[in-house]
Chain A
Amino acid sequence: MLELKDVKKSFGKNRILKGVDISVNKGDVVVILGPSGSGKTTLLRTINFLERADSGTMIFDGKTYDMKRAGKKEVNFVRKNTAFVFQNYCLFNNKTVLQNVTEGLIIGRKVPKAEAEVKAKAALEKVGMLDYADYYPSRLSGGMQQRVGIARAVAVSPDIILFDEPTSALDPELVGDVLKVIRKLAKEDITMIVVTHEMSFAEDVANKVIFMADGVVVEEGTPEEIFYRPKEERTRQFLSRIIPVDNYVI
């Protein structure tokens, strides 16, 4: 349902993405791993056109897009059928929790207000935040804000949700709740790409793991393959730094 071919992106002289190919099927949970600066965030952002790729092709819902030249209409179509969960939540601070979630429905998709509120409340229920519907974001903990961020993404019924390190800005004791919510979504067959460093989460939930380094996909496979039988030396090095050595077989 989503395919990227040869995506390239530079910032000035820095080549960040050097030709990335990935493909995601409906219902997939794809986890992207990789060292800091390898271009994971940039890749997710190019999918949603928050960043313009210098070149590359995207096939999404059967349509082909030139990632450099896609026009306003095409960008809009992709944005309306995808959703993004940000590392630092990026909730709208001037809107209540409920309004944060209805905004994309009422303004972005012209859903009537009453219907939008029903949908938004269902999404908030799903992430366990319905009781806080009337709160402003500044009164919520990071974990709660991120759950609202997830509800905001879920509510617009996107074909795919892009998560950029959804738990890395959270205090350790708040990570669990957010991961629980994402696991729940994964069970509902919602398609998603998740950039994360939470290995046990990746192992449980992903059906595909992609390891990126220096702007290219180094290796991809099932969690089994990547975590326990990595083929590439680069992958092994990376994993040995974040998983205790006795946890995987060489």
Chain B
Amino acid sequence: MKLDHNFIKNTFIAVLAGVPVTFKLILVVLLFSIPLGVVVAIVRMNKSGVLSKIFSVYVSFIRGTPAMVQIYLLYNALPVVIMRFFQEKGIGIDVYGIKGMTYAYFILTATYIAVMSESFRGGLSAVDKGQLEAAKSIGLTPFQGYYRIVIPQAMANILPVLANNVTGLVKMSSLVFAMSVFDITAIAKTEGARHTTYVEAYLVIAVMYITLNLTIELIFKLLEKRIKEYHAL
């Protein structure tokens, strides 16, 4: 098989337009799913309470269903249900008018809250509970105790897992084409279809994903090394 070099170059240029979309997706999802994941993890670790049970069901649902199924349910099926409900009640909000990108942010964040919370649960429980009590005993609020003492240690404990989560998110972001979001995968797909040069198109984005994920792994490795050196955890 002969690859069309010219086409590779052109696709590469076309796909570049999707890079900001992919980056925005990843950053926004991380920005929300990390803190919310921590909250879910802490609530679930303090076992008692209705909220803890609700979160536990939520995490099981997300973990137990393929991302494509979640996207179908939330992006294709749910708006129909909501729209029918709104029409019955005479509420004039147009659910269909919500952009695909908004759904993408929402669905990926929802998934990643569950993923992150599971990772944090491991990290948090590895931090001796006494340190939180010590923080309270010297006058820190529970929030300050978590934020300043417990969470940084939990993060450090699970850096390799977090690296996995982030590279996983990069890969999962490619599913947003199903919500008509033009990320790099969606663009490569259309370019490939237009010129029937799928192989070249997918090769281009494969290289882009690999480059991005290798960079992420490198950053986490450096972070880990730094923490080991200074904190000697």
Contacts and interface: CB of A to CB of B under 8 A. Distances in A.
B131 interface: yes
B128 A80 contact: no
Interface string B127-160: 1101101111111110010001100110010000
Contacts of B231: 93-94, 136
B233 interface: yes
B134 A48 contact: no
7 contacts: A48-B137, A76-B141, A84-B133, A93-B231, A94-B156, A103-B148, A108-B138
Interface in A37-59: 48, 50
B207 interface: no
A86 interface: yes
A88 B134 CA distance: 11
B139 A86 contact: no
A90 B153 contact: no
B134 to A, nearest CB: 4
A207 B6 CA distance: 91
Nearest to B137: A84
Contact of B137 (A83, A88, A107, A139): A83
Contact of B134 (A76, A82, A84, A156): A84
Contact of A104 (B139, B230, B232): B139
A152 B138 contact: yes
B137 A109 contact: no
Interface in A93-128: 93-95, 103-104, 107-109
Interface of B: 127-128, 130-131, 133-141, 144, 148-149, 152-153, 156, 230-233
A30 B230 CA distance: 40
B233 A93 contact: yes
Contact of A86 (B130, B144, B148, B233): B130
Contact of A92 (B139, B149, B232): B149
Interface string A148-190: 0100110010000000000000000000000000000000000
A86 B133 contact: yes
A138 B137 contact: no
B134 A94 contact: no
A156 B131 contact: no
Contact of B128 (A50, A82, A90, A136): A90
Given A107-B144, A136-B231, A93 B153 contact: yes
